[in-house]
Amino acid sequence: MDSVIHSNGRNVSDLDQLTQSLARNLKRWRGERGFTLDALAARAGVSRGMIIQIEQARTNPSVGTTVKLADALGVSITTLLDYERGPQVRLVPPEGAVRLWTTPAGSFSRLLIGTEKPGPLEMWSWRLMPGEGSGSDPHPGGTVELLHVTAGVLTLVVDGVEHSVGAGASAAFEANVPHMYRNDGEETVTMTMTVSVPPVR
């Protein structure tokens, strides 16, 4: 199972710090939302035991689990990983991007930057090697994804329907249904993707 945090050039102490940040921020945001462990577990579809382990910094959750928790709390993954809050302009250097999904063949997704206003908004960089793909469970209603393919041909599957998106083309879709990004071709696919999640009501 892919963990949410990969080395991506970081040393062990950096990974430990990210695990600690995730633990601290999950507990903080759960408190701010007024969710008990049971309430968050039910809302996110994640076991109570897993939430306890994350809050105690005893595990690196999978990408899917982290996305579910962020969605349930109405915050971005960036916030759960405790990026610095600063002035109106916030710069994230290349080494500040966090690789959240990776495969031995070289596919990956990397969270470039995110914000909480007016609701969680994230920008991602993706690379899919030939024959590989990554699926996602439905996000909360109102979630929208925008993507722009810069190389190769992406097979975008939304609610079971396949769409071919070639280099230079873009796509937008409501992401409250199962969806998948797949590379069925022989050329590496690279793309930039933005995810907008509505604020928690």
| Domains of the chain by start residue, with CATH | 12-80 (1.10.260.40), 103-196 (2.60.120.10)
pLDDT number for residue 1: 43
pLDDT number for residue 11: 46
Q: 6-17, pLDDT tens digit by residue?
A: 444 444 455 677
Q: What angle do CA 104, 19, 191 make, to 5 degrees?
A: 45
Cβ atoms of residues 126 and 197 within 8 Å:
no
Q: List helix spans (H) across the chain.
A: 12-33, 37-44, 48-55, 63-73, 77-80
Closest CA to 69 of 22, 119, 2, 135: 22
One digit per residue, pLDDT tens: the chain, 201 residues?
455 544 444 444 556 777 788 888 899 899 888 899 999 999 999 999 999 999 998 888 877 888 899 889 988 887 887 655 444 566 677 787 888 889 999 999 888 877 776 678 889 999 999 999 999 999 888 888 999 999 999 999 999 999 999 999 999 898 999 999 999 999 999 999 999 988 776
Q: 114-139, pLDDT tens digit by residue?
A: 777 667 888 999 999 999 999 999 98
pLDDT number for residue 148: 93
